[in-house]
Amino acid sequence: MRFKFAPLAVAFLLCLLMPASSYAGYDEGIQALKNRDYVAALKHFSAAVDAGNLDANVALAKMYGSGKGVKKSYIKAFTLLTEAARGGSRVAQRELGALYLLPNTGLNLRSAEGIAWLQKAGDGGDAEALGALGGIYSGLSPVAGIKTDKILAHKYFQKAESAGWEAAKAMLFYLEKKMTKEQVEAASK
């Protein structure tokens, strides 16, 4: 009688183990990066990407974007980040937004799409994305085709501060020195 339940028990245990195995390789890849073993990092991250780990997509994209351990390829970085961003990774959304805004990649990307990805990450609570948007609209990190808007920049820095971005307070202090009293009041509404 007890053997009838054995296949069910095995199936249940396999289901419990599936999520863990889908992320196998990511932690090993991180450790390999720390040890500057780029060959091992590439192997582990690639396996984790194949298993559906969106964090591994981001890590591998950073390797391709920087050329560490692999031939530099913005195309591969873009592909990996796009997949993870569409999968819901806020970090990938932020990094993809930044890649869209990076000059001289040869990818012919549009700034408006980069801003949209940063906003999506920021809407999801990514403090660094909110800080990046504040920097763009403040003029501290100018982007071709994007007009400076100190009030909007202030709002993004406020959101970044609320989300835990440590540099936000200093950015707000700096920005408020360049704003009128009316602009600061409008931004605080």
| CATH code, 79 | 1.25.40.10
User: In this structure, are 85 and 112 located in the same domain?
Assistant: yes
Q: Would you say residue 2 lies in a domain? A: no
CA distance linking residue 132 with residue 156, whole number of Å: 8
Last residue of a domain, which of 108, 124, 140? 124
Q: Tokens 């709002």, residue?
A: 155
Does residue 111 sit in the same domain as residue 34?
yes
What pLDDT sits at residue 173? 96
146 and 74 inside one domain: no
Query: Is residue 62 domain-shared with residue 130, that is, in the same domain?
Result: no
Say yes or no: 92 and 129 in one domain.
no
Instruction: For residue 184, tell me if it sits in a domain.
Output: yes
Q: Produce one character per residue of 30-43: b if its CB has 16 or more CB atoms within 10 Å, e if not.
A: bebbeeebeebbbe
Instruction: Among 124, 148, 172, identify where a domain stops.
Output: 124
Structure-block tokens of residue 94: 């932020």
In the Cβ-directed half-sphere of 105, how many Cα atoms lie within 13 Å?
22
Average pLDDT rounded to a whole number, residues 172-189 = 94
DSSP letter for 147, please. Answer: -
| 61-91 pLDDT per residue, tens | 999 999 999 999 999 999 999 999 999 999 9
40, part of any domain: yes
Residues 28 and 94 in one domain: yes
State the pTM of this model: 0.82
- Shared domain check, 59 and 27: yes
pLDDT of residue 145: 86
Distance, CA of 136 to CA of 119 (rounded, Å): 12
pLDDT in tens, 15-48: 333 344 345 689 999 999 999 999 999 999 999 9
How do residues 92-150 score in pLDDT, each as one tens digit? 999 999 999 988 888 888 899 999 999 999 999 999 999 999 999 999 998 888 999 99
d(CA 125, CA 180): 29
Report long-range pairs for 182-187 (Cβ below 8 Å, ≥24 apart): 183/150, 183/151, 183/154, 184/154, 186/151, 187/150, 187/151, 187/152, 187/154, 187/155, 187/158
| Cα 63 to Cα 67, 71, 88, 123, 164, distances in angstroms | 6, 9, 21, 27, 27
Among 124, 139, 163, the domain-final residue is 124
Could you give the number of structural domains in the chain? 2
Residue 45 belongs to some domain of the structure: yes
Q: Which domain holds residue 53?
A: 21-124
Give yes or no: residues 42 and 134 share one domain: no
**Are residues 51 and 105 both part of a single domain?**
yes
Residues 133 and 182 in one domain: yes
